[in-house]
Amino acid sequence: MKVFLGALLFLFLSIPRVCAISEFEWVDLQMMKICRINLVKSQFECKEFRGAWKSVYPLILEGIKPEDIPAVCYPVSSPLKNTMLFSIPGTGQVYQFNPSLKTFKRLDETFFRGYNFYAVQFIRKDSLYSMGGEGFWRNSNLFSYFDFKTKEWEEIKTAGELPRGIMSLSGSVNVQKNKIIAIETDATKEYFDKTLGLFEFDLNSHTWSKMGNIDLQEIKDLKQSTANFNLIGDLMFFSDPQQGLFADPKENKIYRYQGPKKLFFLIEAKLYLRGDMIYSIYRNKNKSEEAFQVDSLSFSELKKDSITLGNLYHTESKTSWEALTYLFLGILLAISIYYNLKYLKRRKDKTEDIFTDLPLGGVEFIALYKQHGEHHEIGTDEISVMLGCENKAFDTQRQYRAQFIISMNQYFYSKYRIKDAIYRKNSTEDKRFIKYCLKEEVFLKL
């Protein structure tokens, strides 16, 4: 039944149709106002928290097709230089509001949709990034960025101990500290797990590290139905209403707020950070739907009026038998390396002739196929690393890769008369990305 309902929900969100929400809305904490793009009226509008919506000026709409916008969607707003950028998780769509030009336009040329609902999306160093998400009945840990030149999303390789999946419901970014904090999710196993891993992602090195495991029963004992949270500064604020639970992952402590502001953590409230102040903004249900309640707390007030409940997570400790196992495996590995080196030394003279005329990076390229087999696929980022151009501009990297593929194909044609030995195909995991493959005839020559 759950699978059936999930399928219906996915199809409902995936089919383009006329947009049921007409606003791209955000909070301006500098002006202490709420602003929106009204697509129905083609207007830029703002309002005081307790006032009515007022038109600021008409907008010029560029490339906007209301039927492309899902009827139920939650655009992520992010300031970019002097503009406001909007991305809609699950669609790949990116929009930009330019106040100086009074324009609202679509930037992307994305066709494929449905793979990253609830992704963590954010701006860092003038680039738009997306981490994880949900789609096709699975969660992902895919990390990508929006290329403003090609107007498409491109994958970024990550390293370290990867979580099974990441969603914005239980993952958030701290751009100032260059990190993402996330509790892993898994669409097929989460409901049966007793623990979920807590992970940190370094935005500089693109590396994941596991901080520990969160016991879900301990979370339920605190009257939390889920482990969903929102990261404000260095603190994780859990999502259940009026519980007032928050955690400090660095200190590995979980707290409960017991101060006078009982409505601060309402489930309807959205939390924002401005300087050292946390702002809680939610609709005042006792008044009209246009009335918002605004409250604020400093970090010092929050900690002062809170009690410690215990540890947030448990670290993993290695037992002595595990250490002995690693030692035994290490000895076996050393013996294996010794005999393999003797074998490789005998083959060295035979293989040197094959690789004499290969272009730069060719030996590494062939070595991957010798290691992984004829069905191995290589991504564009891997080729850039082989060629030593991964830190160059994206257009320069493309030129390096194109020349490399041409040189490799020329080599195999002149030596073995194999045409187009290296060919490209769409990734089976994500059709937007390109993979390079080696023909079977070449592999047999190796």
Average pLDDT of 3-27? 49
Q: How confident is the model at residue 355 (pLDDT cuts 50, 70, 90)?
A: low
Average pLDDT of 171-175? 90
- Does residue 150 form part of some domain? no
| Domains contained in the chain, number | 2
Average pLDDT value for the chain: 82
Domain housing 62: 13-114
Q: Identify the weakest region by mean pLDDT among 5-19, 137-151, 239-253, 258-272.
A: 5-19
Give the three-class secondary structure for 98. strand
Q: Residue 146 pLDDT > 60, yes or no?
A: yes
Cα atoms in the 13 Å half-sphere on the side-chain side of 158: 25
Cα atoms in the 13 Å half-sphere on the side-chain side of 334: 6
pLDDT of residue 337: 87
pLDDT of residue 321: 59
- Does residue 198 form part of some domain? no
Which candidate, 355, 317, 325, places its Cα nearest to that of 445? 355
CA angle 105, 19, 140 (to 5 degrees): 80
Condensed to tens digits (0 to 9), the pLDDT of residues 97-143 reads 999 999 999 999 877 666 788 899 999 999 999 999 887 767 888 99
Q: Is 107 left (phi over 0), alpha (psi -120 to 50) or beta?
A: alpha
Say how far apart CA 298 and CA 183 lie, in whole Å. 25
- Does residue 436 form part of some domain? yes
Which CATH number do you get for residue 367? 1.10.10.10
Q: What's the DSSP call for residue 333?
A: H
Q: Identify the weakest region by mean pLDDT among 292-296, 317-321, 371-375, 418-422.
A: 317-321
Backbone angles phi, psi at 129, to 5 degrees: -120, 160
Of 81, 114, 147, the position where a domain reaches its end is: 114
Q: Residue 31 pLDDT > 70, yes or no?
A: yes
Concatenated DSSP letters of 389-423 = -TTS-HHHHHHHHHHHHHHHHHHHHHHH--TT-EE
Say how far apart CA 319 and CA 322 lie, in whole Å. 5
Amino acid identity at 195: T
Backbone angles phi, psi at 2, to 5 degrees: -65, -40
Give the three-class secondary structure for 351. helix
pLDDT of residue 322: 63
The top-scoring range by mean pLDDT among 164-173, 197-206, 407-416 is 197-206
- Does residue 437 form part of some domain? yes
Concatenated DSSP letters of 186-198 = -TTTGGG-SEEEE
Q: How confident is the model at residue 216 (pLDDT cuts 50, 70, 90)?
A: confident
Q: Which two tokens stand for residue 147?
A: 């290329």
Say how far apart CA 41 and CA 59 lie, in whole Å. 9
Say how far apart CA 141 and CA 161 lie, in whole Å. 11
Interacting residues of 278 by C-beta distance below 8 A, sequence separation 6+: 232, 233, 271, 272, 296, 297, 298, 299, 302
pLDDT of residue 367: 82
Which candidate, 136, 130, 221, places its Cα nearest to that of 171? 130
- Does residue 423 form part of some domain? yes
Of 58, 89, 114, the position where a domain reaches its end is: 114
- Does residue 29 form part of some domain? yes
Report the DSSP beta bridge partners of residue 27.
Answer: 34
Give the three-class secondary structure for 438. strand
Strand order across the 235-238 sheet? 229-232, 235-238, 245-248, 253-257, 306-310
Q: Residue 11 pLDDT > 50, yes or no?
A: no
pLDDT of residue 314: 92
Say how far apart CA 299 and CA 246 lie, in whole Å. 12
Give the three-class secondary structure for 160. strand
- Does residue 156 form part of some domain? no
Of 73, 95, 114, the position where a domain reaches its end is: 114
- Does residue 69 form part of some domain? yes
